[in-house]
Amino acid sequence: MSDLTKDQRLSLPWFDPAPPSAEDCVIPRLIDRWAAETPDVVFIRFESGETWTWAETRRRALSTAAALQARGVNGGDVVAAWAPNGPALLRAWFGANYAGAVLAPINTSFRGKLLEHAVGKTGAKVMIVHPDLAPRLEGLSLGAAERLILTGPSEPLNLPVTIEGASALDGDPAACTPVPQNPWDPPVIIFTSGTTGPSKAVITSYVQEWTTARVTYGYMVQSDRMLVNLPMFHVGGIAAITAAVACGGSVALFDAFDTRRFWDTVRETGSTVCSGLIGALTSFLMKEPPKADDAENPLRMVTLSPINEDTVALAKRFGFDYLSGFNMTEVSGPLISAVNDPVMRSCGRVRVGMECRIVDDQDNEVPHGQPGELVIRSDNPWTLFSGYLGDPEATARAWRNGWFHTGDLMWRDAEGCFFFVDRKKDAIRRRGENMSSLEIEIEVVAHPSVRECAAYGVDLPGGEQEVMVAVAPVDGARIDPHELIEWLIPRMTHFMVPRYVRVETALPKTPTNKIQKTGLRDEGVTAATFDREAAGLVVRRQKLTVA
């Protein structure tokens, strides 16, 4: 084991790493508990203003489960759901679990082959689909699907399946036969973000989702309301709602993050805790004009990433505490920070119950300060994913030498803090120098006119790469690539200064607000791309006189 001994791992006051019982982590059992103990307490407030109490939530879940069972859904089957955050998707999740089935929520941005891949991968016979999305299914192979249940009125569809309306989900709650489930059974199959290739279908367990929720959002108590604006087809959305179910708290569920409305939403919904201020979202909020009442809001704690100058300034300006960490769909919060951790850009330390190493390409541990791939394993069973659905080869590639390989480059300091460098596939190599795209992006986004940035390598003949950035401006601003490069030259290491600049009104993103670099990288240098060298802007290494 690494020299980060188990005694050095971070303990959290709200998290016990001991394996949970079914009563602690299986969603239907938790809903049953709160519906019995606090039936009239509001569990969820939707974006429309509609609310469900715990008793109503249980009734709707049982009604949906009965409808699914009447349509041949059995324990262990997969139910695919393709809908935005809202009542239909929530009852699909809870109803599937009461029926002993597994929910597979599909990314609402998927189209064409990506959509066909996801639908086929689930193997679901029953799909629950939003009517505005359904036309995208026409002309695609629907895999094993036999029945489509639309969550609202729709135009006629040309699909080779039985199509039913929303009333098909209104079964008789008394007719449901709840299927007993164990902590290691899967509640959801979650597709990875797909930022570097086709999305993989991750099989989770109740233990894994409960652990992720308790580590990442375990500060939540029964009196809290969690603002959830991460999509429920993402682990962040599922974990945040699971955190509320675990403690009997409540949720304000929204479909997307809205910078301009964020603080109004916090106040209107009475949200006291929040999930998912990820990446550039903190910068977006900081660039909103200050108001005299900024700190007059109910928000007390936020889980966000990363910790940086904007994070600290945002927390001070709006009066909340924060927690950061590292997670991905396949794991359960292996790295976590202390509350209001002062270590800039740290992902935190290894939490109790986990082991983490930084290794080279041969899985040998590297020294402190040296970048390598983060690999993970757990002290307890079922806290990491159970495999990629229908893809044993990808599962085997991820699990090597007894460790899960994250594909993320990090380094660790002597105090045990971990720092993200880059996705392994996003690292840039130029003239023998390895670069982090994240470090380039941090410098570029510091420019007052730049709202967001994606840095990536574009291939040149001979196997070399050049640095390219795609940038989008702050509202009302204009980015002059020539001026931007001149501004960057004295601020950046010479070999990191971008050669190519592409200006867009907005950058393509996944629904979890991660910038989608794959398409940008594939398009490469276009006719509209600014070329620093062609413009005569030469960057040279400073020559030093030997003392």
**List of E strands, 166-298:** 189-191, 201-203, 225-228, 250-253, 273-278
The CA-based dihedral angle spanning residues 255, 256, 261, 264, taken in that order and rounded to the nearest 10 degrees = 50
Residue 79 near residue 101, CB atoms below 8 Å: yes
Q: Supply the pLDDT for residue 509.
A: 84
Strand arrangement of the beta sheet that strand 465-473 belongs to: 450-459, 465-473, 500-503, 530-531
What predicted TM-score, i.e. pTM, was given to this entire model?
Answer: 0.83
- Percent above pLDDT 90 for the chain: 77
- Percent above pLDDT 70 for the chain: 94
Distance CA 417, CA 347 (A): 7
Q: What mean pLDDT, rounded, does the chain reach?
A: 92
Q: Provide the H-helix boundaries in 5-86.
A: 22-25, 27-37, 54-70
Res. 511 pLDDT band, cuts 50 70 90: low
pLDDT in tens, 280-297: 677 778 888 899 999 999
Give 97 or 432, the one with higher predicted confidence: 97
Q: Supply the pLDDT for residue 7.
A: 57
Q: Is the pLDDT of residue 462 over 70?
A: no
Distances (CA, A) of 481 to 327, 529, 535: 35, 9, 10
Res. 1 pLDDT band, cuts 50 70 90: very low
Q: Is the pLDDT of residue 542 over 60?
A: no
Q: Is the pLDDT of residue 48 over 90?
A: yes
Give 546 or 367, the one with higher predicted confidence: 367
Tell me the average pLDDT across 29-51: 98
* 338 Cα distance to chain centroid: 21
Distance CA 530, CA 534 (A): 8
Q: Any residues with CB less than 8 A from the CB of 483 and at least 6 apart, and which?
A: none
Q: Is the pLDDT of residue 429 over 90?
A: no
Block residue for tokens 């977006």:
284
Q: Supply the pLDDT for residue 539.
A: 85
Range scoring the smallest mean pLDDT among 333-337, 502-506, 539-543: 539-543
Distance CA 436, CA 410 (A): 10
Going along the chain from its start, the domains and CATH numbers come out as: 201-424 (3.40.50.12780), 427-531 (3.30.300.30)
The CA-based dihedral angle spanning residues 400, 401, 402, 403, taken in that order and rounded to the nearest 10 degrees = -60
Res. 2 pLDDT band, cuts 50 70 90: very low
Tell me the average pLDDT across 376-387: 97
Q: Supply the pLDDT for residue 239.
A: 97
Q: Is the pLDDT of residue 183 over 70?
A: yes
Q: Is the pLDDT of residue 82 over 70?
A: yes
Res. 3 pLDDT band, cuts 50 70 90: very low
Report DSSP letters for 130-150, one per residue. Answer: -TTTGGGGTTS--TT--EEEE
- Nearest Cα residue to 40 out of 250, 327, 329, 193: 250
Tokens of 16: 């016990």
Distances (CA, A) of 151 to 53, 87, 223, 380, 449: 21, 10, 32, 39, 42
Q: Supply the pLDDT for residue 544.
A: 43
Q: Given phi > 0 = left and psi -120 to 50 = alpha, else beta, which region is 363?
A: left
Tokens of 67: 């409808």
Q: Any residues with CB less than 8 A from the CB of 200 and at least 6 apart, and which?
A: 191, 192, 388, 391, 394
Q: Supply the pLDDT for residue 430.
A: 80
* Paired strand residues for 412: 418
Give 513 or 43, the one with higher predicted confidence: 43
Range scoring the smallest mean pLDDT among 13-17, 42-46, 483-487: 13-17
Distance CA 425, CA 447 (A): 26
pLDDT in tens, 303-355: 998 888 888 999 999 999 999 999 999 999 999 999 999 999 899 999 999 99
pLDDT in tens, 231-251: 999 999 999 999 999 999 999
Q: Supply the pLDDT for residue 547.
A: 38
